[in-house]
């Protein structure tokens, strides 16, 4: 297993990363679901082997990152990490310094992270974004994980790992905050590849299908697969399609 390195952007955002073997300016940022465990070594290795700088960030207010979760829109955490990649950064294990010249950034996110990837794709520095089972409209409440239940579960099961105020959870009930449907006119659908499964019981697929059509995104609706995880991006049947989309 390749050793993952660690750095920090904007003083608060912790990121694990694996550099590519050959020089490149291609960068993939992995965007997690909510809640989730931070171990993404397999996905980092996969994209590193494909020739990308592979990064996995921790949102502000989660795990080793500073700040408060949801105080700022999580797509801001992604773009702030991109800001940090524009200059030299240091990995903490050995103190080695890295510089990516003119980073070409690609995003891969799932569920909550799919929402982050879509929102962050508005940044001109993001070339492509892949979203698996993304939340596209927070007003459409999940039957299994409504906001109130998700907030209570996260507090009980993860404790201080997610440092979030109740008022900030309430931001996800609808409106423009971190909500792709409220920003459709700002999105470039040609940059987006969205995959959703019909039997997803956590995030319903129909709002996603309508959203993808309206913004002109590449869209696949799968008959099965449930709520798609980040591992979906690196395994059959979608790994080649995703890799091809990012490369095109």
- For residue 71, the domain's CATH number is 3.40.50.1820
Evaluate whether residue 53 is within a structural domain: yes
Tens of pLDDT along 100-110? 999 999 999 99
Question: pLDDT category, 203, cuts 50, 70, 90?
Answer: very high
Evaluate whether residue 146 is within a structural domain: yes
List, as own/partner pairs, every contact residues 145-151 make where C-beta atoms lie below 8 angstroms and the sequence separation is at least 24, other chains included.
145/202, 147/172, 147/173, 150/34
Share of the chain above pLDDT 70, in %: 99
Write out the residue range of the structural domain in which residue 135 sits.
Answer: 5-179
Domain count, the chain: 1
Evaluate whether residue 194 is within a structural domain: no
Evaluate whether residue 187 is within a structural domain: no
Evaluate whether residue 214 is within a structural domain: no
- Work out the average pLDDT over 152-180: 94
pLDDT of residue 1: 58
Evaluate whether residue 206 is within a structural domain: no
Mean pLDDT score across all residues of the chain: 95
pLDDT of residue 141: 80
Evaluate whether residue 202 is within a structural domain: no
Evaluate whether residue 243 is within a structural domain: no
Q: Which DSSP letter does residue 4 get? A: P
């Amino acid at each position: 297993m390749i050793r993952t390195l660690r750095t920090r952007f904007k003083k608060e955002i912790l990121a694990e990363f694996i550099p590519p073997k050959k020089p490149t300016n291609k960068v993939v940022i992995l965007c997690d679901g909510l809640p989730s465990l931070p171990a993404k070594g397999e996905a980092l290795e996969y994209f590193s082997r494909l020739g990308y700088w592979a990064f996995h960030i921790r949102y502000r207010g989660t795990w080793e990152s500073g700040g408060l979760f949801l105080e700022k829109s999580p797509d801001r955490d992604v773009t702030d990490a991109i800001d940090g990649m524009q200059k030299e950064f240091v990995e903490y294990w050995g103190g080695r310094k890295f510089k990516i010249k003119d980073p070409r950034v690609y995003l891969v996110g799932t569920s909550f992270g799919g929402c982050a990837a879509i929102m962050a794709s508005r940044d001109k520095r993001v070339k492509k974004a892949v979203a698996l089972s993304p939340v596209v409209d927070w007003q459409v409440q999940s039957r299994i994980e409504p906001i109130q239940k998700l907030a209570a579960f996260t507090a009980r099961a993860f404790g201080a790992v997610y440092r979030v105020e109740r008022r900030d959870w309430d931001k996800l009930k609808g409106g423009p905050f971190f909500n792709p449907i409220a920003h459709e006119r700002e999105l470039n659908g040609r940059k987006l590849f969205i995959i959703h499964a019909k039997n997803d019981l956590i995030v319903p697929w129909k709002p996603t299908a309508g959203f993808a059509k309206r913004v002109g995104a590449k869209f696949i609706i799968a008959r099965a697969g449930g709520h798609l995880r980040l591992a979906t991006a690196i395994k059959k049947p979608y790994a080649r399609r995703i890799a091809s989309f990012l490369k095109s």
